Amino acid sequence: MVNFALISGLSLMMIIITCLFQYEVMRIVWNLLPRLTVAPRLRVLLIVVPIFAIHIVNIWLYAAAFFLIEHFTSIGVLAGRNQFAGVLYESFVNALYFSATTYTSLGFGDIVPTNDLRMLTGAEVLNGLILIGWTVSFTYLTMEAFWGMPHGHKHRSGENESARAHSPGRRPR
């Protein structure tokens, strides 16, 4: 019961940390984009690269949690690893691989969590799905707001609805 409470608390903490981290990075990107006088292609990179980095960092955070739990507690292990499982580096790489397949909900099943560690796995899947969906939504909104923006102009959020509906390339609603 104690392990269940610990892993549930850790799961909640990981969800809060990753959501706050993603929110802050996306807020910075959103506030920075209107001030930039760069080509739309570069603007796309300035949206996609930080967002991709967010997901990589989140995967590494979960991998660190799996690794630390496996090596310093009796809560559970990642079972099904190859013959190099005793080496710490290889063990972290396995945790990173497991975290990436879990976060993206790919889940090959070649490495599986045991005991209460399964709770953190479920939290990571749900968290990854929500954060990836949030990323898709954010990317769409930023592309809509900044893609056709000429160099050095403010984004469309300051325009009234009539001007937005009749701007070039947009269908009337």
Question: Please, what CATH class does the domain formed by 2-147 belong to?
Answer: mainly alpha
* Cα 129–Cα 134–Cα 140 angle in degrees, nearest 5: 130
In contact, 69 and 120? CB cutoff 8 Å? yes
Domain ranges of the chain: 2-147
pTM above 0.75, yes or no: yes
Q: How long is the chain? A: 173
Please give the pLDDT value at position 27: 97
Residues 6-53 have pLDDT tens digits of: 999 999 999 999 999 999 999 999 999 888 888 877 888 899 999 999
Q: Name the percent of the chain lying above pLDDT 90.
A: 60
Residues 109-153 have pLDDT tens digits of: 889 999 999 999 999 999 999 999 999 999 999 988 877 665 555
Please give the pLDDT value at position 101: 97
